[in-house]
Amino acid sequence: MGITCKSLAIEEDLDRGIMVVAVTGKLDVEDYDVLGEEFDHMLERHGRVRLLIELKDFHGWTAGAAWEDARLGFRHYGDIEKMAIVGENKWQQGMTQFVRPFTRAEVRYFDAAANADASADASDWVHAPE
């Protein structure tokens, strides 16, 4: 199942509770409306979700989207099992460190600028059993 909106493309592995979110450009509130709805559907099916977030040409959030991001994180503090973030630069890597206190998930950063296989490595890690 795939869903695309302004800055997001979401693919779901419904059998395994894995959500892959490709992000480009700047996120806004409407993007979080779609993401939150899809995340809630995954939780209904699986109880906990694994996330693979791929940032490509990502430029951050609008003010409203930043607030929605924080709300989503607080609301789902214990609902994420693993979170892999594939990024392209240092501030995105730093963002990975920033989110750790706001989730019980195991979080890892994969640097696409330094490793051409970063997306595949992140996918392998997210899909690997505990």
Q: Number of structural domains, the chain? A: 1
Q: What is the pLDDT of residues 45-89, one digit of tens each?
A: 888 999 999 999 988 888 887 778 777 777 888 898 999 999 998
pTM for the structure as a whole: 0.87
Rounded to whole angstroms, how far apart are CA atoms 100 and 89?
Answer: 18
Give the range of the structural domain holding residue 113, as residue numbers without chain letter: 2-127
Report the Cα–Cα distance between both ends of the chain, in Å, rounded: 25
Model pLDDT, residue 1 = 53
CATH at 86: 3.40.50.10600
